[in-house]
Amino acid sequence: MKINLRVWRQKNSSDKGGMKSYVVNDVNPDMSFLEMFDVLNEQLIQLGDEPIAFDHDCREGICGMCSMYINGRAHGPLHGTTTCQLYMRHFKDGETIVVEPWRASAFPVIKDLVVDRTAFDKIIAAGGFVSVNTGQAIDANAIAVEKAKAEEAMDAAACIGCGACVAACKNASGMLFTSAKVSQLALLPQGSPERKVRVLKMIEAHDEAGFGSCTNTGACEAECPKEISISHIARLNREFALASLD
Amino acid sequence: MSLNSKIPSGPLAEKWTHYKEHVKLVNPANKRKLEVIVVGTGLAGGAAAATLAELGYKVKAFCFQDSPRRAHSIAAQGGINAAKNYKNDGDSVFRLFYDTIKGGDFRSREGNVHRLAEVSTNIIDQCTAQGVPFAREYGGLLDNRSFGGAQVSRTFYARGQTGQQLLLGAYQALERQIGLGNVTMYNRHEMVELVIIDGKARGIIARDLVTGELTKHFGHAVMLATGGYGNVFYLSTNAMGSNVTAIWKAHKKGAFFGNPCYTQIHPTCIPVTGDYQSKLTLMSESLRNDGRVWVPKSREDAKDIREGRKTAIDIKEEDRDYYLERKYPSFGNLCPRDIASRAAKEACDDGRGIVASGLGVFLDFADAIRRLGVDVVKARYGELFPMYHNITNEDPLKMPMKIYPAVHYTMGGLWVDYELMTTVPGLYAMGEANFSDHGANRLGASALMQGLADGYFVAPYTVGNYLSSEIFTKAIPTDHPAFVEAENAARERMNRFLNVKGKTSVEEFHKRLGKIMWEYCGMARTEAGLTKAKGLLKELREEFWRDVRVPGEFNSFNPDLDKAGRVADFIELGELMVRDALNRNESCGGHFREEYQDAGEAKRDDVNYRYAAAWEFKGVEAEPELHKEQLEFENVELQVRSYK
Ligand SMILES: Cc1cc2nc3c(=O)[nH]c(=O)nc-3n(C[C@H](O)[C@H](O)[C@H](O)COP(=O)(O)OP(=O)(O)OC[C@H]3O[C@@H](n4cnc5c(N)ncnc54)[C@H](O)[C@@H]3O)c2cc1C
Ligand code: FES
C-alpha cells in the first residue's frame, strides 16, 4: 500500500508548529499504525531529517502511552482501539491520513505528537487512592464484595489514562478519566471511608489543571479505547452532590 | 571478593521472622533526614517508593515513561500467585515454596524463595485493601484459578488485566505520597550513570528526556527496580522501552551480574510475520487450559499449509501430531513453559511448522468449543480472542490460533543477597532487575508476586538495616567530584553517539543484535554457536561505534539518542550472556545446551553447576570474572524435573 501522511511537527513547547506531508510506500496491511511510523522514521533518519516524535511503549493497548489524533478522531477510526492496536488494513491504498497530537490546554505539546499528561497524575495524587499503608491491611477475604459491584468497579478501573477522552471533548474535559477512578473506589467498601473528600479533592484538582467542564456530549465515551461508560460521570455527579451537602 | 548471601541461620520457616525481629531500625526523626533513590516505578519500584515514604524516608523516584502508571508491569495478563489456600485444595506456604524451587530447576536460594512464599499472602491483603478489583465469586469472596500447570488454584486475577490493576494500586499509593510531599517524582527521566563515593552507592545521573539535560541526584541508598532485559533479543513481549541500562551501568561500577543467560521463552505468542515487526504479542498461558497444540504429522501437509494450498481444517484428525500430549502424557498441553517452547522449536526444525516463515504451530480450540460451546470458550478468554483476531485478521473460533515461542522474561539480573543488596554497598535491586527467586525458570504468575514482595514487604525493611548506620551521613552536595565525573562520562558518551554520524540507524543495530542472540543464545544453545556469537557480537559492537547514525541534538527531546545508549548497553550485555551460557555446561530451566540432554530432555549437572553465577565486570574488552555462589538445599531433595 501507499500512504500519504500529513503530520503535525513542532520542535518544542514554545515552537508554533505546523503540518508536513510525507509519503510511505510499501506499507504492509498487517503493519500496525505505529510500525508504519517506524518505517517512516527510518526513512527520515536516512535522509538526515529528524524523525517524528510520538509516545508509545507496550504496543498492546494497555499502557496508555500512545496518543495520536488520526483523521480527526482520537486513536483513529476504529471503535475501542488504541493507536498501537490499529492496523493498516483498515486504511485504503493511496489514502491521505492526517495525524495530530492531543489538543487540550491541560496537555501542552512537548514535541511533534508528544504531549504532557502529568495533569492526570495530579488528579490521582489529590485523592484517587485508598489511604492504607503497607502492612495495615486485614485479611482479603474479610471484606466480601458483591460480584456485580466488583465487576462494575473493574469496568471503571480498566481506564488506561491515555487522555483520548480529553482530546475528543470539545471542552477538553477530563471528567471521564476522573469519574472512572471516583466510581471504582465508590463502588467498593474499601473506598467508602474517604468517599466524600475524594470526589471533592479530585474535582478541585481537575479544575485547577485547566480541564474544561463536562456538558454531557458523550464524545469521550464514543472515543474511549477501553469503552469506559459515561454512567461513571453520572455516579461522580451524585457523589459530588452528596459530598457537597455536608 | 567472596560472595556472602547473608541467609539468616535457623529453620527455613523461621528465617524471615527471625531476621525481622533482629534487624536494626531507624527512628522516625532520623528517617526524615535519610534520602532514598528508587529508579523504576513498576510493581517493584512503585511499591517500594510508596512504602519507604510511608515509613518516613525522603524518596526520589524515577521512570522513563510520562507517568509511573505506565511501567511494563501494566501488561501482565494472567495473574498473581499467593499461598492463601482460599480454595481449601491443600495449598500452603511450603507448597508454593516447593513448586517455585522445583519450577526453577533447583537453581535458586531456599531462604529467599521461602520468604517470597510467606509474604505472598500479605500482598493479596494489601492490594485488596487498596481497592484492586480482583475477580470474585458469587458469595463476594475472592476467586482463584489454576495457572501454568500448578496442581492447586492459587492464582488471583483481575480479568485479563491483573498487572494493570496491581500496578495502578501501587501507583495510587505512590501518588498519595507524592501528594503528601514525601516522594519527589521524576518522570521522563532515564538513569544513565551510578555515582559511587567511598565504595558506597550515593546517587545517580539521570537524563531529563524532555530537555535532554543531565541531572544529578544524591541518595543515602540507591534502589534499582528497572525491570528485565528481554529486549536484548529485539523481538520480545516486553514493552518497547524496557532496557538494561540502569543495571548495566551498576554492573560496570561493581555490581555483579547473576545468571545473565537464564531467559524465559514463552510458548504462546503470535508468530513473527515480517521484518517491520517491532514486538511480539503474548497470548496468555491460560489458553493452554483448553487449547491443544499440534502440527501435521507429515512435512508435506505442513508445506501445503505454509504455501496456502491447505488450512488446518483440511488435516484429518489422524494426520495431526498433538506432540505435547504425545511426549508428556501426564501434563500434556499444560507442561511448563521451557518444555513447551522447546517442543515447538523441535517440531518446526523438523519441517512441520505451519506459518510462511516455518516458525509456528497450531493452538486449537475446536475440541473445547465442541465440549463447552462457543459462548463458554469466548467468556473464559475474554479479550484474548478479539485481540488475536485484530492483530492477525483471523478468527480463532473458526481457525486454530497460530503461535510460536518468544522471549518473555529474564530470570537473570543483578546478583543480590538476602537483603536484596548488590555487591555495591547501599545499592539494591528489586523485581525483574535482580537475579531473583526464580532460578533457571519462572513459573507463571510469580513475577508479579516477586515484584510486589520485594517492593512492599522486603526491601523497605532490609534497607533500614543499612541506613541505620548512615544516620550521621549528611546529604552530599552534587558538585562533589564523583558526581561531576559521572556526569561528564555520561555526556561524553552521548556526544560520541551523535558524532559518529555513520550510516546505520540504532534500530537496525538493535535488529541485528536480536538476530544473533535469538539464533545462538535463544531456545537451544551449543558451544560452537555460542563461540561464534561471541565473535559476531564483538564485531557488532565495534561496527556500532564506527557506523551508528543518531539524528537530532543533545539538549532536546531525542528518543533516538536515548535508544542509542540502550542498544550500546544491550550489545555489551549480549556478550556477557553468551559468556555465561558457554560457561554453564549443563541444561537447566530456560538454559538448554544441546550437548547436555537425555533423549531431548534437559540434563542438569548438580555436581559441577549447582551454583549461581555472579559475574564481575573487568572492562569492555576484558573477560569478566566468575564468582560462584554454591546453592545449598536443606529442605528439598534435588530431583530430575520430569513432566512425562
Ligand atoms: C506480556 C507480559 C505478560 C506478563 N504476565 C505476567 C503474569 O500474568 N503474571 C506474572 O507474575 N508476571 C507476568 N509477566 C512478567 C511481569 O509482568 C514482569 O516481570 C514484572 O511486571 C516486572 O516488574 P518490575 O517492577 O520489576 O519492572 P517494570 O514493570 O518493567 O518496571 C520498570 C520500571 O523501571 C523504569 N526504568 C527502566 N529503566 C530505567 C532507567 N534507565 N532509568 C529510569 N527508569 C527506568 C521504567 O520506567 C519502569 O518504571 C508478564 C510479562 C509480560 C511481558
Ligand atoms: S503503546 Fe501502550 S497503549 Fe498503545
Q: How far is the CA of B240 from the centre of ligand 2 (A)?
A: 10
C-alpha–C-alpha distance, residues B369 and B460, integer Å: 48
pLDDT for B286 equals: 84
Q: Whose CA is nearest to atom 51 of ligand 1?
A: B76
Distance in angstroms (rounded) separating the CA atoms of residues B354 and B367: 20
Query: Which stretches within B548-638 are classed as H helix?
Result: 559-583, 606-609
Among candidate residues B280, B307, B315, B303, the one with its CA nearest the CA of residue B388: B280
Whole-number Å distance between alpha carbons of A86 and A82: 7
pLDDT digits (tens, 9 = 90+) for A73-117: 999 999 999 999 999 999 999 999 999 999 999 999 999 999 999
C-beta B71 within 6 A of ligand 1: yes
A3-111 sits in which CATH class?
alpha beta
Long-range (24+ apart) CB contacts under 8 A made by B330-333 are B330/B643, B330/B644, B331/B149, B331/B643, B331/B644, B333/B288, B333/B291, B333/B292, B333/B293
User: Phi then psi for B627, rounded to 5 degrees?
Assistant: -115, 140
Nearest to B225 by CA among B61, B40, B410, B70: B40
Question: Residue A82 has what pLDDT?
Answer: 98
The grid cell for B588 is 537447566
Contact assessment for residue B80 and residue B155, using Cβ atoms and an 8 Å cutoff: yes
* Predicted pLDDT of residue B580: 98
Residue B137 forms contact with A (CB below 8 Å): yes
C-alpha of residue A34 to centroid of ligand 2, in Å: 10
Strand partners, B146: none
Measure the CA–CA gap between A201 and B532, rounded to whole angstroms.
61
- What is the C-alpha to C-alpha distance for residues B248 and A120, in angstroms, rounded to an integer? 32
What pLDDT score was predicted for residue B599? 81
- Cell 458469587 belongs to residue: B138
Among residues A75, A239, A106, the alpha carbon closest in space to that of A171 is found at A106
* Cα–ligand 1 centroid distance for B75 (angstroms): 8
Residues found in chain A: 246
The residue written with cell numbers 471528567 in the block is A175
The rounded distance, in Å, linking the Cα atoms of B147 and B113 is: 19
How far, in Å, CA of A171 to CA of B443, rounded? 48
C-alpha grid cell, residue B9: 541461620
Does residue A66's CB lie within 6 angstroms of at least one atom of ligand 2? yes
| pLDDT for the residue B476 | 98
First to last CA, chain A: 61
C-alpha B454/C-alpha B459 separation (Å) is 6
Taken as a whole, chain B contains a residue count of: 644
Secondary structure string (H, E, C) spanning B494-522: HHHHHHHCCCEEHHHHHHHHHHHHHHHHC
Name the CATH code of domain A117-245 (choices 1.10.1060.10, 1.20.5.510, 1.10.3210.10, 1.10.150.390): 1.10.1060.10
State whether residue A243 is helix, strand or coil.
Answer: helix
Burial of B71 (0-12, 13-18, 19+ CB in 10 A): buried
Other C-beta atoms closer than 10 Å to the C-beta of B88 total 8
Query: Among residues B243, B261, B305, B235, which one has the least CA distance to residue B578?
Result: B261
Closest C-alpha among B84, B85, B227, B93 to residue B167: B227
Report in angstroms the alpha-carbon separations of B587 from B235, B256, B521, B562, B593. Answer: 24, 23, 13, 36, 5
pLDDT (mean) for A54-83: 97
Q: Is B231 on the interface with A (CB under 8 A)?
A: no
Pairwise CA distance, residues B375 & B385, whole Å? 12
CATH of domain B265-406: 3.90.700.10
Cβ–Cβ gap A161/B159 under 8 Å: no
B206 Cα distance to chain centroid: 23
In the structure grid, which three cell numbers stand for residue B633, read together? 538445599
What is the structure's pLDDT at B244? 98
Interface test with B, best of A129, A177, A188 (most B CBs within 10 A): A129
Residue range A2-43, pLDDT digits in tens? 999 999 999 999 999 999 999 999 999 999 999 999 999 999
Instruction: Give the domain ranges of chain B.
Output: 265-406, 489-608
CA of B271 to the centre of ligand 2 (A): 20
Domain ranges in chain A are 3-111, 117-245
CA distance B183 to B312: 55
**Distance from first CA to last CA of chain B, Å, rounded?**
42
Provide, as residue numbers in chain A, all residues whose Cβ is less than 8 Å from the Cβ of B557: 12, 53, 110-111, 114
Measure the CA–CA gap between A196 and A204, rounded to whole angstroms: 13
For cell 468449543, name the residue.
B369
Please list, in sequence order, all residues whose beta carbon lies within 8 angstroms of the beta carbon of residue B398, skipping any fewer than 6 positions away.
Answer: none
Q: What is the largest CA-CA distance in chain A?
A: 64
Q: What is the pLDDT of residue A241?
A: 96
Give how far Cα A124 sits from Cα of A68, A161, B396, Å.
Answer: 23, 11, 39
Query: Is this structure's pTM higher than 0.95?
Result: yes
C-alpha to C-alpha distance for B495 and B558, rounded to whole angstroms: 13
B361 three-class SS: strand
Q: Which of B276, B355, B408 to mutate to test the interface with A (most CBs of A within 10 A)?
A: B276
Whole-angstrom distance, CA of residue A149 vs CA of residue A166:
27
Phi, psi of B216 (to 5 degrees): -110, 135
DSSP string, B9-70: -S-GGGHHHHHHHHS----HHHHTT-EEEEE--SHHHHHHHHHHHHHT-EEEEE-SSSSGGG
A106, three cell numbers: 491541560
Phi, psi for residue B490 in degrees, rounded to 5: -65, -40
Does A145 sit within 8 Å of B559, measured CB to CB? Answer: no
Q: Which of B273, B320, B317, B313 is nearest to B295 (CA)?
A: B320
Describe the strand order of the beta sheet including A73-74 as a list of residue ranges.
A18-24, A3-9, A96-100, A69-70, A73-74
Query: What CATH class has B489-608?
Result: mainly alpha
> Counting atoms of ligand 1 from 1, which one is nearest the CA of B162?
8
Nearest to B534 by CA among B477, B575, B473, B585: B575
- pLDDT-flagged residues of chain B (< 50): none
For residue B286, the tally of other CB atoms under 10 A from its CB is 25
Closest residue of chain A to B240, computed from CA coordinates = A57
Which ligand is closest in space to the CA of residue B188? Answer: 1
- B155 at interface of A, judged by CB pairs closer than 8 A: no
- pLDDT score at B289: 87
The finding on whether A82 has its CB within 6 A of some atom of ligand 2 is yes
Query: Nearest CA of chain A to the CA of B279: how many Å?
Result: 8
Distance CA B410, CA B260 (A): 8
